[in-house]
Amino acid sequence: MLVDRRRVLSCGLVLMLGAGAVADVAAQARGGAVQGRGSAVQGRGGRGQAPRDAGSTPREIQAQFDAYVIAQAESALQISEEQYPQFVRRVRALQAARREARMRRNRLLAQINQQLRAGDTIDDAKLTAAARAVDEHERAALADVQKAYASIDEVLTPWQSARFRVLEDQLEQKKLDMLFRARQGPRR
């Protein structure tokens, strides 16, 4: 029963911090003031510190959301004590693989954009090579993500694996909804 209370408390704290962080970013974007927070998120062995300064960076928001995903998955998938350490490590590897793939893709696209801004001096061969580099990167990134999923599946039951896929989709939709509402600003 004590573990369940910790799970509920952990999930609640992570949700509040994640929602607050998204609101902070939205307030900063609108030029509003943001109040700092100094609370910590505690899970089964996991620690995450909420930002103490006047706002949250995108990296801090992503870290809070990553922790929220793990907390939600722990509960929804009924992760056992034996599964927990490996599950967390492997989910974090999945999250890191996705993040690295996104950053690399953005860098490649920025290089293409820089070439396109060259105007009349555009080199078709360089553009073709750059576009192929993006395609190759996307293939490699997909393979890395698939390997990460396979690694997670090694510690989960088939039911947990399937539930994890559905949960991730639901949480991603929730994140997009929160960001959309934050960008719209406060309702009057």
- Burial code of 153-169, b = ≥16 C-beta within 10 A, e = fewer? bebbeeebbebbeebbe
pTM score > 0.95 for this model? no
Contact by Cβ (8 Å): 73, 115: no
* Residue 13 pLDDT class (50, 70, 90 cuts): very low
Q: What is the pLDDT of residues 70-125, one digit of tens each?
A: 999 999 999 999 999 999 999 999 999 999 999 999 999 999 999 898 877 888 89
Q: What is the pLDDT of residues 31-51, one digit of tens each?
A: 333 333 333 343 555 434 333
- In angstroms, the CA 36 to CA 47 distance is 19
Contact by Cβ (8 Å): 115, 184: no
